[in-house]
Amino acid sequence: MNKEYRDPTPWASGLTVSVLVALLSAAAVYSFGDALARVHPLLSIAVNLIAAGGAAPTAWRWRWAPVTRWVVAGIAAGVLLAWFALFVGLVFG
């Protein structure tokens, strides 16, 4: 048998890291986006899209690294959550 050994996936600690990073990144993106929206809503949209577009290639390369994949997943979830909150605040606020 020539089977390669792979360590088991640390789901509990990985998901914990992802949730904590998602909360921190959501708070940061929402706060920054809200502050920029008070200046001008289009400024907030432009800066958020430019920042996400600039970070996306690096995050895409790190998505399979053993530890950073959990951090990347948390950042992606946090950014999407913050964008949703900003959109809801823009529409209903």
pTM of the complete model: 0.86
Give the pLDDT confidence of 43-64 residue by residue, as tens digits: 999 999 999 999 999 999 988 8
Q: Are 48 and 29 in contact (CB under 8 A)?
A: yes
What is the rounded distance in angstroms from the CA atom of residue 68 to the CA atom of residue 62? 6
Give the pLDDT confidence of 1-38 residue by residue, as tens digits: 567 877 888 999 999 999 999 999 999 999 999 999 99
Structural element, H or E, at residue 17: helix 11-39
3-state secondary structure of 10: coil
**Residues found in the chain:** 93
Neighbouring residues of 59: CB distance < 8 A, sequence distance ≥ 6 = 72, 75, 76
Choose among 66, 67, 38, 33: nearest CA to 50: 33
